[in-house]
Every structure is written in structure tokens, then in C-alpha cells.
């Protein structure tokens, strides 16, 4: 590897000294399939002399075998990694490349440009300081260019290099360059990009990559490499208020208790007053350390802090400068980028990870989605893969946060599917919809336990789930009769009946089914709060929503009863004639036929209706309730 610096050969110690102080720039490249993105990255690696001779030999051989450049080197082959994409001739995922010059180390997120991979671009951009947007000079500003620029601005990148590529194919025309630049600036005015640096290049030939091009004397700006080496990186938010999400409590022995984390903004000194959010407990910093004590620490460093007082603080809390602590709320307006094949349904509950806090969240309102090509706002009831929407979200408890525009780490979150555990979305907090300080649970003097005790029982919810016609209502009715005969106080929520009243505005799409169950879960909880034994008989086809209803109740007071009957059996019973209609296509979204039923994985009770009569099933359930002590009350 013939390196540029003579110091390597002559004075390696001086060279190392110089390289110790290099800074780091992370950027992404975005372009369409044929804009020459891989070629550009390959060229940057090649021109910064980061390619070893054996790699170069392999590259030359590969270029002849499968390259697209005849006898010339195909730089794209340097970076097209996985076998699958080599076969397709396109890049399919985010890849990270590294190169280094005298002044900087660079990490490049190489992200694909085609539409179905918005997810990958957002991922690559989330850690980038700058974006290089490629334009094919022959084709100008395309739909894709607009999409890439919108995504770049959405994720909060303020600096863009507009690399107008393939200038060699337009005779290095100044007019072409000016026209494209004009088109782009007009479009970009509506985005939040602060600085656009246009550079005319040819990645293939090497014009204005590391050496100023002799072919374009009309261009007086920097080469691409010169710009990347000197562009000022935002100074890591050092002067912003101090924030450190606590990752881990370090307690090696009784004498030391430290709080470890990555400083996301600001600076912290021993002696500084701090506030731990959301609890707002205060203390003072005793020591700031990595493996030894530091005079101070600043944004971007992973440190451990010990405090002067023994206060309650654990993973998920955020240490803040006492004068400017993070806000706390449990409802937000956010932008959500959906990244999964299973669509986002308002009302469904997901896990939300923000910093080191993990909570349960659901989208309460999908205000609109954004067409990434035209920036138009469109009405929507759900978000599909790669769609972006403005959403209000609600959490099960308040979290400490800052607006994404002010602090990426304190305002950027992911959503995780509770069943598949996949990361399904990225989100950005704009602002809180209400302040947590204003929410008070009205304290009640008469508790649910005492209400239930008065009735000689314990409050609980019996949740019957199963296909239409499985016998849920029949069994639930029998159970209620028996409980009534035993002098217990019950109530029944039946799917069909609730749809005539409370939920009459809802249909049978997935989105509406989620909302249907959410409302019923809340009603069941209110009735259980009144001390009742609540019997709920709903198809409730999705695991997520049954889980949500379960989470509303204290542990041990939710009984999922799976009334199990094979589809063939219920279809032959077909008491309401619904399956026939569904088979004829007269009913849309019918569970078991045209809409899925997800059977419970661990129900408290599993009733096999092919073996057990409804009477026997009811007896079994009542016996179970009795065995668990629910038919005797504690008087509180």
C-alpha cells in the first residue's frame, strides 16, 4: 500500500503522533441504481490508497470476469458485498466502508437508492454527519433525488454534498451543471437542509474526486475529498445541556456505586449539580471517570459518574444538568418510518426504546402519511413497509426526552414488535402533547379490592377467545349462570352486542379490530375496578391485542380461555351462516377465512370443544376460579 505520507518511511513516530489527533466524519451516500454510487465509493477507497495490492489483483480479475467496464477496473465490484446482490447487480442493504486520509478517518454508510429500501437509507443516515447525494448529469433531478433529499432532511442531516456525476458523459458542460443545481435548489428550499455544496464529478474517470479536474476549468470549488476532509463537523453538541442516559449501574463492591453511559450532549464536571429524570431527584457529581478520573467529560464519551448522595437511579433514567433537565411526558407527536412487512396499526401496542428506556407504546392517531416522492400529505389508516407518517403516540409511563431536532439520542426511538421481537419502526419526537406533571391519577379511597371483597369475591377478567362459532358465548353464558347461582357478581361483554353500541363505528379491517379490542379491554378493566367478575366473549384474533388487554389487569386477574374448535368443525356448525357467506366472498375480513386467527400460546385454560361439552367446560372453568381463590373476597 503506497501511502501518501513520506513520514511513514522516514519518521513513523511523527506519523503516528499526527494520526492520533485525526477526527472522524461519518457520511452516507445516496443515489439511484445507476447513478454510480458504488463506483464513487470504490473510487474514494482507491484514491485514498486504501486498497492493498492483492485486493487490487482480485479486483482486476473480477472486473474482467463480471465487470461492466470492459478492460477497465470496475470500482463498484470493490464494494458490492453479498453474493445475492452480486447476482442481481444491485446493493440490497446498508454496508459500512472505511477509509482514512492524513486529516480524517471516514465511515461511509453505503445505502441503496431504490424505493423499497427507505428503511435502509434511514438506518444509514441515522448516524451520519453529512450526506452525499448523487445525481446522474444526463438525467438531472429525479424522483429518487427528491426522495433521498427528503429522507436526509427528515433524519436531521444539515449538510449535503450534491455530487453531479458522469460529467464526462455530458461533455463537462457548465450549462448542464447549472441547470441541475437550479432545479435542485428550488426543490430543496422546502427542506430543512442548511448547506448544499454542489461538486461536478466523474467517479469513473476520477474528475474532482481527489484531484481538481482539468476538464472543468469553470469549476473553482473544492474536490469531493478536499471538502470531506475540511467540512466542519457539528461540535457534538458540547455546549447543549448535559444529558447522559444511564445504561448500567456499576457496583463492584459496597464502596462504589457508579452510573455508566454515553454522554449524548453537554459537558459534565465533578461538583456539577445534576437532576435524574424522570424522577427529578437531585444530587451532585462526585467523580467523572473512564478507567481513571477525568477532569470533565463531554458529548460523545462513554463514562461512569458517581454521585455525592445515595439516590435512586437505574438503567432507563437520564442524568441531566440540574438547570436544564430533559422534559418528561407520556404522549408525543412524532414522525414514524415503518420498516416492517406487517403494517403499523393504530391502537396496537409495541415496545418503544428511547435511549436506555424501554416502555410500551401505541399510536393513538395516524394524522397523515407522507408521499416521499412528492412530499404530499395523504390520509391513511395504517402504515405499510417504507411508509412515513405523522403520528401521535401514547406510552404506558412517562419518559425523559428532548425534541429530536435538539438531540438525536434523546428524541429518536425504535418500535419493537412484542411477538416477533423485530425492530419495526424508527421514530422522531417533535414535541410532547401534554406534560406529565399535569397528569394525576385521581386517588380513590374505596379500592377495587374492597369493592370486590364486599361482594365476597376477587375482581377478574375471563377472556374467551376463539373462532366464530367455536362456542365462546355458549360457554361464557353457562359460566355466568353458575357464578350467579353461587351468589357472585358478574357482567358479560359479548362481541356481537358491543358492536351494536360502543363499537358501532368500527368495521372489520385489521385496524378496526385492534381498536375494537382496545376499547373492550378498557371497559373490562373499569368493570373489574368496580369489583366484578367480567366475562368477555370476543373472537379477538390477534395475540398483540389480547396481550394489551392482559397488561391492563394486575397479574393473576386475567384469565385467557381459549375456546378451541378446528376451522372445519366450526364451518360445519356455522350457526349464523356466516362461514358460507364468507366463502362466497360476501363478507370481507372474516376471521379464519380471509383474516388470520392467532391462537393463544399460553392460555390459562384451553377448552377443546371437540372433546368437552359446553357444560363440562363451564364446570371446569368455575372449578379453576375457585381453586385460585377468586370466589372468596379479602376485605381490605
Say which residues have a Cβ less than 8 Å from residue 41's Cβ, sequence separation at least 6: 29, 75, 78, 79, 97, 108, 110
Helix (H) or strand (E) holding 14: helix 12-20
Is 436 buried (19+), middle (13-18) or exposed (0-12) by CB count in 10 A?
Answer: middle
Residue 208: all three cell numbers together: 474532482
For the packed helices 174-188 and 143-154, what is the interaxial angle rounded to 10 degrees?
50
Supply the minimum distance, in Å, between the C-beta of residue 547 and other proteins. Answer: 14
Residue 450 catalytic?
A: no
| Cβ nearer to other proteins, comparing 107 with 502 | 107
Ramachandran assignment for 153, one of left (phi > 0), alpha (psi -120 to 50 degrees), beta (any other): alpha
Supply the minimum distance, in Å, between the C-beta of residue 474 and other proteins. Answer: 35
Rounded to whole angstroms, the maximal C-alpha distance in the chain is 98
Question: Cβ(355)–Cβ(410) under 8 Å?
Answer: yes
Say which residues have a Cβ less than 8 Å from residue 111's Cβ, sequence separation at least 6: 28, 29, 30, 94, 117, 120, 121, 123, 124, 125
Q: Is the dihedral of CA 143, 149, 153, 154 positive or negative?
A: positive
| Cβ nearer to other proteins, comparing 172 with 413 | 413
Is 239 buried (19+), middle (13-18) or exposed (0-12) by CB count in 10 A?
Answer: exposed
Say which residues have a Cβ less than 8 Å from residue 586's Cβ, sequence separation at least 6: none
Strands 95-100 and 490-494, by their bridges, are: unpaired
Supply the minimum distance, in Å, between the C-beta of residue 516 and other proteins. Answer: 28
Is 242 buried (19+), middle (13-18) or exposed (0-12) by CB count in 10 A?
Answer: buried
| Cβ nearer to other proteins, comparing 430 with 519 | 430
Supply the minimum distance, in Å, between the C-beta of residue 260 and other proteins. Answer: 6
Choose the catalytic residue: 38, 540, 544, 595.
540
Supply the minimum distance, in Å, between the C-beta of residue 199 and other proteins. Answer: 24
| CA distance linking residue 218 with residue 602, whole number of Å | 72
Phi, psi of 486 (to 5 degrees): -80, 0
| Cβ nearer to other proteins, comparing 438 with 610 | 438
Ramachandran assignment for 498, one of left (phi > 0), alpha (psi -120 to 50 degrees), beta (any other): alpha
Supply the minimum distance, in Å, between the C-beta of residue 96 and other proteins. Answer: 5
Supply the minimum distance, in Å, between the C-beta of residue 390 and other proteins. Answer: 11
Supply the minimum distance, in Å, between the C-beta of residue 607 and other proteins. Answer: 25
Residue 572: all three cell numbers together: 360445519
Supply the minimum distance, in Å, between the C-beta of residue 180 and other proteins. Answer: 28
Supply the minimum distance, in Å, between the C-beta of residue 587 and other proteins. Answer: 34
CA nearest to 590, candidates 577, 602, 600: 577
Number of residues assigned to the chain: 636
Number of Cβ within a 10 Å radius of residue 210: 18
Q: Is the peptide bond before 278 cis (omega within 30 degrees of 0)?
A: yes
Phi, psi of 379 (to 5 degrees): -65, 145
Cell 447543549, residue?
240
Cell 441503496, residue?
112
Could you tell me the end-to-end alpha-carbon distance of the chain, in angstroms, rounded to an integer? 80
Outline where DSSP puts E strands in 447-574: 460-465, 490-494, 533-537, 558-564
**What's the gap between Cα 296 and its chain centre?**
33
Residues forming the active site: 540
Amino acid at each position: 500500500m503506497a501511502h501518501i505520507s513520506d513520514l511513514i518511511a522516514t519518521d513513523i513516530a511523527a506519523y503516528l503522533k499526527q494520526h492520533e489527533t485525526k477526527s472522524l466524519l461519518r457520511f452516507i451516500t445516496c443515489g439511484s441504481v445507476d447513478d454510480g454510487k458504488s463506483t464513487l465509493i470504490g473510487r474514494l477507497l482507491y484514491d485514498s490508497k486504501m486498497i492493498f495490492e492483492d485486493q487490487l489483483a482480485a479486483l482486476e480479475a473480477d472486473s474482467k470476469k463480471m465487470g461492466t467496464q470492459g478492460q477497465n477496473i470496475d470500482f463498484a465490484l470493490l464494494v458490492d458485498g453479498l453474493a445475492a446482490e452480486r447476482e442481481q447487480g444491485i446493493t440490497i442493504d446498508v454496508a459500512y466502508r472505511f477509509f482514512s486520509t492524513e486529516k480524517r478517518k471516514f465511515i461511509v454508510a453505503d445505502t441503496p437508492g431504490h424505493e423499497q429500501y427507505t428503511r435502509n437509507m434511514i438506518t444509514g443516515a441515522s448516524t451520519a454527519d453529512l450526506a452525499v447525494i448523487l445525481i446522474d448529469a444526463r438525467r438531472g433531478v429525479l424522483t429518487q433525488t427528491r426522495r433521498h433529499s427528503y429522507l436526509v432532511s427528515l433524519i436531521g442531516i444539515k449538510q449535503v454534498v450534491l455530487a453531479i456525476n458522469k460529467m464526462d458523459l455530458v461533455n463537462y458542460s457548465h450549462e448542464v451543471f447549472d441547470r441541475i443545481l437550479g432545479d435542485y435548489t428550488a426543490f430543496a428550499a422546502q427542506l430543512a437542509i442548511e448547506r448544499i455544496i454542489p461538486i461536478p464529478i466523474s467517479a469513473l474517470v476520477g474528475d474532482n474526486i481527489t484531484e481538481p479536474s482539468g476538464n472543468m476549468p469553470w469549476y473553482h470549488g473544492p474536490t469531493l475529498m478536499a471538502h470531506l476532509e475540511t467540512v466542519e463537523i457539528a461540535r457534538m453538541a458540547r455546549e447543549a445541556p448535559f444529558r447522559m442516559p444511564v445504561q448500567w449501574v456499576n457496583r463492584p463492591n459496597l464502596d462504589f456505586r457508579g452510573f455508566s453511559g454515553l454522554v449524548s450532549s453537554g459537558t459534565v464536571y465533578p461538583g456539577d449539580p445534576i437532576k435524574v429524570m424522570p424522577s427529578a431527584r437531585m444530587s451532585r457529581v462526585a467523580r467523572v471517570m473512564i478507567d481513571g478520573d477525568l477532569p470533565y467529560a463531554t458529548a460523545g464519551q462513554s463514562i461512569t459518574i458517581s454521585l455525592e448522595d445515595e439516590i435512586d437511579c437505574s438503567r432507563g433514567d437520564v442524568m441531566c444538568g440540574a438547570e436544564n433537565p430533559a422534559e418528561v411526558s407520556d404522549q408525543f407527536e412524532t414522525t414514524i418510518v415503518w420498516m416492517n412487512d406487517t403494517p403499523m396499526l393504530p391502537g396496537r401496542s409495541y415496545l418503544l426504546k428511547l435511549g436506555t428506556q424501554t416502555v410500551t407504546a401505541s399510536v393513538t392517531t395516524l394524522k397523515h402519511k407522507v408521499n416521499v416522492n412528492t412530499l404530499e400529505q395523504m390520509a391513511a389508516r395504517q402504515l405499510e413497509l417504507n411508509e412515513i407518517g405523522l403520528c401521535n403516540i401514547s406510552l404506558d409511563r412517562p419518559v425523559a426526552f428532548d425534541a429530536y431536532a435538539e438531540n438525536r439520542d434523546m428524541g429518536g426511538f425504535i418500535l419493537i414488535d412484542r411477538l416477533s421481537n423485530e425492530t419495526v419502526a424508527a421514530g422522531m419526537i417533535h414535541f410532547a402533547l401534554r406534560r406529565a406533571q399535569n397528569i394525576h391519577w385521581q386517588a380513590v379511597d374505596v379500592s377495587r379490592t374492597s369493592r370486590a371483597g364486599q361482594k365476597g369475591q376477587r375482581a377478574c377478567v375471563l377472556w374467551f377467545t376463539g373462532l366464530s362459532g367455536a362456542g365462546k358465548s355458549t360457554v361464557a353464558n353457562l359460566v355466568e349462570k353458575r357464578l350467579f347461582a353461587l351468589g357472585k357478581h358478574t357482567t358479560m361483554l359479548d362481541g356481537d352486542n358491543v358492536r351494536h353500541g360502543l363499537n358501532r363505528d368500527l368495521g372489520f379491517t385489521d385496524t378496526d379490530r385492534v381498536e375494537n379490542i382496545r376499547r373492550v379491554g378498557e371497559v373490562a378493566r373499569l368493570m373489574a375496578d368496580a369489583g366484578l367478575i367480567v366475562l368477555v366473549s370476543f373472537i379477538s384474533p390477534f395475540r398483540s391485542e389480547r396481550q394489551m388487554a392482559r397488561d391492563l389487569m394486575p397479574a393473576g386477574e386475567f384469565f385467557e380461555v381459549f375456546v378451541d374448535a378446528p376451522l372445519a368443525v366450526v364451518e360445519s356448525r356455522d350457526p349464523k351462516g356466516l362461514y358460507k357467506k364468507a366463502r362466497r366472498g360476501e363478507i370481507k375480513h372474516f376471521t379464519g377465512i380471509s383474516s388470520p386467527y392467532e391462537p393463544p400460546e399460553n392460555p390459562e385454560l384451553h377448552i377443546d370443544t371437540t372433546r368437552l361439552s359446553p357444560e363440562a367446560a363451564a364446570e371446569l372453568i368455575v372449578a379453576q376460579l375457585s381453586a385460585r381463590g377468586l370466589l372468596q373476597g379479602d376485605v381490605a
